[in-house]
Structures are given as C-alpha cells and as structure tokens.
A = this chain, B = another copy of it.
Amino acid sequence: MTTPTLVKNILNTAYDDIPYSVVEHAKKSIKNWMGVAIGASYHESVEMVLELKKDLQSGEQVSILGRTEKVDLLLGSLINGMSSHIFDFDDTHLDTIHHPSGPVAPVVFALGEHYDFTPKELLRAFILGCEAELRISNAVYPSHYDLGWHITSTTGGFGAAVAAGILLKFNEEQMLNALGLAGTQASGLREMFGTMTKPFHPGKAAQNGLLAALLAKKGFTSSKQVLEAKRGFAATLAPEYDLDRVNENWGTQWELLKNAFKPYACGIVLHPAIDACIKLREFATPENVKEIQVTVNPYVLELTGKKEPKTGLEAKFSIYHSGTIGFLEGDAGEDQYKDQVVLRSDVLKFRSKINPTVDKNLKEDEAIAKVILNNGKEYIVKIEHATGSIAKPMTDNHLNSKFKKLTVPIIGTEMANKLIEHLDSFEELLTLKEIVKLCTEENVLA
C-alpha cells in the first residue's frame, strides 16, 4: 500500500530525524527559489495574474515576493510559484527534470506568512513536501514525462499538499485525503512549453495542493490509495511505473540532496559549453580571437543548434549565443538572454567565431573548448562536470551572486544582503515574516 506507507513515513519523520546536510540543502533551495521568484516578479505574466486580485476582490493574506501587493492564500501560492519558474532558472532534480521548490515553497511561504510556525516546522514541511513529490516523480519517470506530462506540475501538487499538511498538523487520515485530492487535480501538459502557461504549472500545482490540504483539514473525504489504485494516479498518468521507488530507503536516502541549482539561465545541456567558454577568458580577449571551437555531445548540439537567434528565448537554445556571452561577459544569467543583448552588434559579430562540433565520446555534462588566436596560438580547456551539477555544485558565493543579480534591481543591495543573511540562518529566525518583509512592503524599490 504505497500511499498509506508514504503517509506513515512522512508523519513519522520529525525535524530531528532529518540530517543537517539535508536541512542545509533545503535552505539553499529556498534561497535559490526566492531569488528567481523575486527576479521575475515584474514579468508581464505576473502582472496579468495579479490583476485577478481585483477581479476576485481577493483577501490580503500573503505577499507577492518582490512586490508590495498582498493577495489571498491560494492566489499567492499561484503567483509565487509561477514567478519562480518564469526564467527557467530554478532548481532541478536531475534524475527526473523535476523542479521541486516551485510547487512546495509557495505553500510554505503562504501558510508561514499568514499563520505562525517555527522556522524548523517550515523547514520540515518544505523538506518532506519535496521528498514526497520527488519520490513520486522517481516512480513514474520517464514514461510519464515522455507521454506528455510536465512532471513538476503533476507530482508537484502532492508535494504542496504534504507541506501544507505538515504545517496544519494532519493525522494519517487527513494526509491520505489531502493526497487523494492533490492527485485528482494532477495536471499540466508539456505542450504548453514555450508559452506563459509553462511557469503557470508549478504555481497551479502549489495552489491545488494547498486547496487539497485546506479541504482535508475540514474532513473532506477522498481516495486513500491515490497512487496505487487500479485507476489511481500512476495507472492513469504513466504507461510504466515502479511504485516501490516511493518509499524505498526512506530516511536514509534523500532525494532533495540531488537537487541542483542552475548557474546559467538556459537549459542544463548548454552549461558545460558555457563553463568552457568562460574559462577561455583566462587566455584570450575578444579582439585577439580568431575562432572558438566547442566540442560537445551530439545531443547537446541537436537541442541548441540555433545559429541566428532573434530573441532571448531563442538564444537559450543557441550554443552560438551562449558561448559568445560566456566568453564576452563571463556569465550567462537572465541579463545575458535579454532580447537587446541577443541583438547587440558585438555579440552578433562574435557569434560567427563560435564553431561547435560534436564528439559522441563526450558525456552530456562534458565539453571541450579550444581558442585559436589571431597570432596562431591555441589554448584548450576541458570541462569534466558542468558547474551546478551534483559532482560540481555551485559554491555558496556563486549562489549568492546569482541571488543578488536577480534581486538587487528589485530590492536593492542592502535588502538583498540582509535576505541572504537571514536565509542562511533560517532555522534561527523567529518568524517567516522577518524574511518576507525584506523583499516586500516598503522594501521594494519599484
């Protein structure tokens, strides 16, 4: 009985049962999540959803991170979950291409801001929510994703419901009902990729999961075996699945530790090539470069072979642009994928010097770059593991610098630094409101 066992596992895991390495990784995940959410908080799609506040005469319970507005618990979960996925710059569980924070953190923040919980309760809720959704993703990946489901969206609702259920102090029956209600709302099609509806998905999963928990709290009844039933979640949404993966090694293996952070605001397959081009800056300056040869796994070039991108979104699928800005600017953040950067004359000119080739002996997270200077000299670098991979995670400094690039334009340097400080000592806070206030209310510059 997969679902009842999962519920028992969740409820029997106290904060003190969680290794500190997992807590540390959770804190980083939350920091990364807040950074991308604040960074995208003035995107036009956020403005659109925020207009619902007026349409619905919404209550004012939860802050929109990076903004001055407050909305109700459900709308707040939708918006904060959505904004964190807009730049495609959020965290990734590499085994399942699931972005775990997006559906879970908004619920922890909504309930955490509106009610009072200790930081340890909030961390426990976040961690167990992520653990639940990632383990369910493990069970249905890849057939579920291949069929057409946006896995962050579908299994994310379970994570959101678990996080809410922990905070609302659920017993077994309530948690079972919450999972049933979350599972029956599971949705989100990959067909939506490339439209505003993609980032809508983790927000909606957060909202659905929170709604599930709010109803379960009142005694609303649902299936007690949503994962494993004959017509349950797995059987209906995945052609192949292995439900043993949901509960195996519970408490000894933590999926959240496999959660990776992106240094660059594009698909992970491009990251080793960008790393390599950044490293070449040690050996050459733009005016001396005749050519940069970038060698990658064939799959990488297949996905990112766009030679003449016209927009930032297209440039995220271009090794030509990505190598160029890596070399010219030493970074590939959201700034380097702005439309005006993609069309800048120096960028356009340098792009023709990027010469990609493929080598099937290279792994997907490897890349080789060779710079040939105008004077004939050559330098070569090899990336064994891309920055941000599990083998070579982003350093704390790098994560903080990403956070600041995303948040300083919106809340200024002082508040960004304070936020980092607070988030790094999350478990010592008095309330979540201390954190939220730094990036909302009068602390927003806009």
A contacts, CB < 8 Å to B: 44-45, 48-49, 51-52, 55-61, 72-74, 147-149, 180-181, 183-192, 195-197, 200-201, 204, 214-215, 218-223, 225-226, 229-233, 235-236
Give bound CA distance, A51 to B211, whole Å. 12
Nearest chain B residue, comparing its CB with the CB of A185: B187
- How far, in Å, is A408 (CB) from chain B's closest CB? 28
B residues within 8 A CB of A56? 58-59, 61, 72-74
With A60-B57, A148-B236, A189-B183 as known contacts, state yes or no: A197 contacts B221, CB within 8 Å: yes
**Per a CB cutoff under 8 Å, which of B52, B192, B230 touches A180?**
B192
Residues on B with C-beta less than 8 A from A55 are 73, 214
CA distance A181 to B189 in the complex (A): 10
Residue of B nearest to A146 (CB): B231
Given A56-B61, A184-B192, answer yes or no on A222-B236 (Cβ-Cβ < 8 Å). no
Nearest CB in chain B: distance from A144 CB, A: 10
CB closest chain-B residue, reference A44 = B219
Nearest to A227 among chain B residues (CB) is: B191
Which of B45, B74, B236 sits near A149, CB closer than 8 Å? B236
Partner pick for A204 among B73, B185, B195, B222, CB 8 A cutoff? B185
Which listed residue (B52, B189, B231, B235) contacts A184, Cβ 8 A? B189
Ranked nearest first, the 8 interchain pairs of A and B with the lowest CB-CB distance are A57-B59, A148-B231, A148-B236, A48-B218, A187-B187, A197-B222, A195-B221, A56-B72
Q: Is A192 in contact with B148, judged by CB distance below 8 angstroms?
A: no
Count chain B CB atoms within 10 A of each CB in A44, A183, A185 and give the residue with the most: A185
Cα–Cα distance between A223 and B185 once the two chains are bound (Å) = 20
Give the complex CA separation of A147 and B192 in angstroms.
23
Task: Give chain B residues whose Cβ lies under 8 Å from the Cβ of A222.
Answer: 192, 195-197
CB-defined contacts of A204 to chain B, threshold 8 Å: 185
Question: How many angstroms from the CA of A313 to the CA of B60 in the assembled complex?
Answer: 40
> Using Cβ atoms and an 8 Å threshold, which residues of chain B touch A236?
147-149, 189, 191
